[in-house]
Structure 1
Amino acid sequence: MDVAGSTALVTGANRGIGRAFVDELLARGASRVYAAARRPELVEVTDPRVTPLHLDLLDERSIEAAAAAAPDVTLLVNNAGIATGAGLLTGDLAEVRRDLETHLFGTLRVIRAFVPALTAGGGAIVNLLSVLSWAATPQGSGSYSVAKAAEWNMTNGVRVELAGRKVLVQGVHLGAADTDMMAGSDAPKIAPADVARASLDGVRDDLIEVLADDPSRFVKAALAGDPAQLYG
């Protein structure tokens, strides 16, 4: 798919990776970018091609309204998310459900709302996933990891259901990115702009999976071996 001339919608577009996607889409010649966020007033508009749009993954009516307001979308970037930090054994189950409602069901609702536009003339769906789709860590990420694993296989399932309808469905995996969500982590972090570039290069090349950094490449390779190398 050629990003130039496309009409894109990016969720969670007010900061971090979402903001980087907006900038990269504009740099590659997108004709319009809907910058969707729970608080669209926080979206910084520096280009007339950017249209702020209200969209909350936990509010189905807002998703339906966004789809009605943006019927011309050809490239959908599902970036919005949360990290409750809930543990699986002692954490609040309501927070575990909130992670799942956001990453799995919220993202799926967005996809379902925009599929009619995307299939009308061919398009692309990009889902921002995580290295934690494939591995759990002890740093309070149990709930997030479960939600991202579910979103990963939902991405695969959507791809299968859209087979033959000229829609690329891409999953993007990364470790830590230099965003507000990861501000308290001292792990090596990839720049949000690098994530956006890697993903959109993959859209150009029809790649269904993008491994944006070394941690994602290491964990993906390790899945074929003894899981003790991840949990030993």
Structure 2
Amino acid sequence: MELNGAVVLVTGANRGIGAAFVDQLKARGVGKIYAAARNADTITAEGVVPITLDVTDSAQIADAAHVADDVQLLINNAGISTGTALVAGDEENIRREMDTNFYGPLLMTRAFAPILRANGGGAILNVVSALSWFTTSGVGAYAASKAAAWMLTDSTRLELASQGTHVVGVHMGLVDTDMAKGVPAPKISPAELAAAGLDAIESGAQEVLGDDWATFVKAGLTLDPADRYAQIAAALGAA
């Protein structure tokens, strides 16, 4: 897909990876950017169309689709992490993560798929995570929601192929954002990740392994679970 002159909507566009997508899109000459956040007043980028959008709110999604009916690229970036375990963790937090990280991009995709079709097919980019392929203590809810987002990406890629919509999944380890602020480990910059995602949109690639950690974890998926997690534990211990 050619980004120069395109119309794009980015969720969670007020900071972190979302704000980096906005900057990268500007640099690539897009024609219009709808920058969405739960509070549109937090959108500080110049030259964008701010939209108030909570991706867990069906009415707000419908309103966004009505306003942004010229979109050609949807970037599902909005996400949360509550640090909740699945067995003993708070059920409300688990549901919040699933609502935001899985149902959010699902409902956005359902709302914007007809718009993308009407505008020539276009593309969808889902910011997923290497935690779609493994988990660690205390992040079971997040990992489960991202695993669901991975399968959402694969399923919608198949379902939307007939209308010419290109679907990209972006996986990464740690990114230097507020979400990963307290984790003492190597991180890539939001700009690096956003650039890699947009490169995939332009090249036609279907999946982005945004850093060495994502590449490492995915390479181990064919291993027996015990061996896979031993390998991951060893890598984490050496980090």
TM-score range with shorter-chain normalisation? Answer: over 0.9
Give the residue type in structure 2 aligned to 1:2. Answer: E
For residues 135 and 151 of structure 2, the distance between their equivalents in structure 1, rounded to whole angstroms, comes to 16
Deviation, structure 1 residue 84: 1.2
Matching residue of 2:236: none
Deviation at 1:19, TM superposition (A): 0.2
**SS of residue matched to 1:162:** helix
Instruction: State how 1:75-90 maps to structure 2 within 5 Å.
Output: 75-90=73-88
SS in 1 for 2:94: helix
Q: Distance in 2 between matches of 1:57 and 1:80?
A: 8
Q: CA RMSD in A?
A: 0.9
Match of 1:63 among 55, 61, 72: 61
Q: TM-score, normalised by structure 1?
A: 0.96
Q: Distance in 1 between matches of 2:153 and 2:220?
A: 21
User: Which residue pairs with 2:156 in the alignment?
Assistant: 158
1:97 aligns with 2:95: yes
Q: Distance in 1 between matches of 2:205 and 2:216?
A: 19
Report the alpha carbon displacement of residue 93 of structure 1 after superposing the two structures with TM.
1.1
- Tell whether 2:130 aligns with 1:131: yes
Moved over 6 A (4+): none
Following TM superposition, by how much is the alpha carbon of 1:227 offset from its aligned partner in structure 2, in angstroms? 2.8
Q: Deviations over 1:49-94 (max 9, x none)?
A: x111011011111111011110000000000000011111110111
Relative to the length of structure 2, the TM-score reads 0.94
Equivalent-residue separation in structure 2 for 1:205 and 1:34 (angstroms): 23
SS at 1:164 equivalent: helix
1:230 is displaced (CA, Å) by 3.2
After TM superposition, give the deviation of residue 98 of structure 1 in Å. Answer: 1.1
Q: Does 1:25 align with 2:59?
A: no
The C-alpha deviation readout for 1:158-188, integer Å capped at 9, x for no partner, is: 1111122111000000001000111111121
**Number of residue-to-residue matches in the alignment:** 229
1:216 aligns with 2:201: no
2:70 equivalent among 53, 56, 72: 72
Where does residue 43 of structure 1 map in the other structure? 43
SS at match of 2:126: strand
Q: Which has the higher helix share?
A: 2
Gaps of at least 5 residues in structure 1 are none
For 1:113 and 1:73, locate their aligned partners in 2 and report how far apart those are by CA, in whole Å: 11
Distance 2:96 2:16 in 1: 21
